[in-house]
Amino acid sequence: MTGRAVGAIHSGCRSPDSLPAAPPASDALAAARAALAEVFGFHDFRPGQEAVVASLLAGRDTLAVMPTGAGKSLCFQLPALVEGGLTIVISPLIALMDDQVRALRLQGVAAGALHSGNSRETNSATWREALDGRLRLLYAAPERLMLDGVMDGLSRVRLTRLVVDEAHCVSRWGHAFRPEYLALPRLRARFPGVPLAAFTATADAPTRRDIVDTLCGGDAAEFVFGFDRPNLTIRIAEKRDPGRQILALLDENRGRSGIVYRLSRRSVEETAADLVRHGVRALPYHAGMPPEIRAENQDRFVSEDGVVMVATIAFGMGIDKPDVRFVVHADLPSSVEAYYQEIGRAGRDGQPSTVTMLYGLADISQRRRFIDQSDAPEEQRRIEHQRLNALLGVCETTECRRRALLRSFGEELDRPCGNCDVCLEPPEVIDGTVAAQKALSAILRTGSRFGAAHVVDVLTGHTNEAIAQYGHDKLPTYGVGSEFDKNGWRSVIRQLVASGVIDIDTAGYGALTLGPRGRAVLKGEERIGLRRPAPAGKSRRRRDDSGPAITASPRNASLLAGLKAVRLEIARELGVPAYTVFHDRTLAEMAESRPCSLDALSSIHGVGAAKLEKFGNRFLQALAAHAEPS
């Protein structure tokens, strides 16, 4: 297929009846490759993309599980350009819809979105464009798409494909279930001949089965390309003084964009204010803020370099900012799936980035309480506890963290990753059976009625009013734990909770009790390995392994800065995030190769035909203004 033909298909100027029929399967993939280069400026597929595109072009129902940053959106955008007609993209995320529509329009692709964040006039105009055959991709929230008037309208257009993004939301057992997704089979029943494609970055085997059964009638081509993000350095540390720890982490990442996740709205506000006092360009984001301020802060984060967003999990889904260099969890996420999705917002450009989690025993207790006090059915609460346990296993593992994380998704890594804190600084592993028995004995002898702080006071022989009041200074276990200080015993108890030796009674104000493995360990029938706790104040200084952000060589640093200034100027004129104009990789390649013509500029990664026409001369002027250093 020639470049001219590709341009004709995605220009959005003809009615459905006048569109050419989809090319034969033998030619469709070649046409997709041509569109990949001409429209998007990419010279080859990323790993996994070609197989998924081929499946879609063959008209098969398809489920694709691709790690964040693997380019899953391109897998359904390319077939939409090649085949013509209208592709419906169902997404729960307004930010993601708007972001992708803006990026597609910059590349000359006719795309639009229907959602509650638009004005009535905007939605009406977009709907008219869809009905008139002037759109190739229409993004919509599921509840809006299921309206009878919308489905009636879709029956009058050439509907080429249904795409369900964030498809894990359809699973009742998934970590982000959305009830409105359960209505989607009605859409499939209304358009039985239209193929369906489902995409997600987070789906274990049961969730994948649920997606295929619910959306595809139990039959679909499945592509699971692995969950590994090798560019992410994974760190997990005990939470001791989160304010100081966050500041230390940000000191390692001065001038870089990043996200700090906090659990509560209050902690978001307090953390953001504290960072600002220490000279960090930090902004808060949570659902309790006025919508206009949330939108303004989000726009600043995606448009500017070096902004740190302090947020609840209300922020991040659908934010496709490629150069997030770090993510910090200052509180424990809800599950291993939630953790994986949230760290996936770092390093989407494939460059080295760091993800760090701080957590303590109070986090575990709080998460257990959230699950136990929820209105979810008992079976769902059981599964949520299992998902949390999988995350705790990653937190307390003494082997490679990446191996433990991937194993939670049914994927085995054949060797240690060499890019997590356990690999970089292996912990000392000790036989913790005796220490576990001391802790269990202290729990039983105090009646399984007290929390960790009291049990630690008993073990370390600390005297206070509660110890004296209950006579616990007379117990045989009082003061038997001299091998560790208080901080050490907190670490031991946290590890024993994570391994199921100790339980937390969430209905009993956080009292420690014996867990499923507790009796066996207490009787010496099972041995326990523990990582040796670090003494208080002796936390190890970890080097920053995230590497620099994408940049040019030192001799071209000023040129790269000039190109970024041009990009920001264009982005502000258009009201779009800077990275939708060009990614950092594209600008760095410009700075290094210094193209001096539009033809040479077109060979740069990420420079498609539409962007070349719109912005090419402005970047060539910036390149010409910087003389080649001698």
DSSP string of 328-359, one letter each residue: EESS--SSHHHHHHHHTTS-TTSS-EEEEEEE
3-state SS assignment for residue 572: helix
pLDDT at 628: 59
Q: Parallel, antiparallel, or unpaired: how do β-strands 429-431 and 529-531 relate?
A: antiparallel
pLDDT at 25: 56
Residues 6+ apart with CB under 8 A from 560: 551, 552, 587, 588, 591
Q: How many CA atoms lie within 13 A of 624 on its CB side?
A: 10
Q: Which residues, listed in sequence order, are joined to residue 308 by a DSSP beta bridge?
A: 258, 282
Phi, psi of 62, deg, nearest 5: -140, 135
Phi, psi of 608, deg, nearest 5: -90, 175
Q: Parallel, antiparallel, or unpaired: how do β-strands 111-114 and 137-140 relate?
A: parallel
Q: Which residues, listed in sequence order, are joined to residue 283 by a DSSP beta bridge?
A: 309
pLDDT at 21: 46
pLDDT at 541: 44
Write out pLDDT tens, residues 253-302. 988 999 999 999 999 999 999 999 999 999 999 989 998 898 889 888 98
Phi, psi of 56, deg, nearest 5: -65, -40
The continuous run of DSSP H or E covering 407 comes out as helix 401-407
pLDDT at 303: 79
Sheet holding 62-65, edge to edge: 111-114, 137-140, 86-90, 159-164, 196-200, 62-65, 221-224
pTM across the whole model = 0.76
pLDDT at 174: 59
Task: Return the closest-CA partner of residue 336 out of 390, 380, 381.
Answer: 390
What is the CA 27 to chain-centroid distance, rounded? 35
3-state SS assignment for residue 95: helix
Instruction: Look up residue 605 and give its two tokens.
Output: 């990664």
pLDDT at 227: 85
Task: Return the closest-CA partner of residue 623 out of 608, 606, 604, 610.
Answer: 604
pLDDT at 489: 95
**Residue 14, amino acid:** R
The continuous run of DSSP H or E covering 163 comes out as strand 159-164
From the number of C-beta atoms within 10 Å of its C-beta (0-12, 13-18, 19+), residue 274 rates as middle
Residues 6+ apart with CB under 8 A from 383: 173
Phi, psi of 194, deg, nearest 5: -90, 120
Give the integer Cα–Cα distance in Å for 355 and 122.
38
Set out the domains of the chain in order of their start, with CATH numbers.
Answer: 3-224 (3.40.50.300), 232-424 (3.40.50.300), 429-531 (1.10.10.10), 554-625 (1.10.150.80)
3-state SS assignment for residue 10: helix
Residues of the chain with pLDDT under 50: 1-23, 538-549, 630
pLDDT at 325: 94
Residues 6+ apart with CB under 8 A from 602: 41, 609, 612, 616
CB 207, CB 409: distance < 8 Å: no
Residues 6+ apart with CB under 8 A from 121: none
Q: Parallel, antiparallel, or unpaired: how do β-strands 511-514 and 502-505 relate?
A: antiparallel
Residues 6+ apart with CB under 8 A from 459: 438, 439, 442, 477, 479, 480, 481, 484, 489
Give the integer Cα–Cα distance in Å for 265 and 259.
15
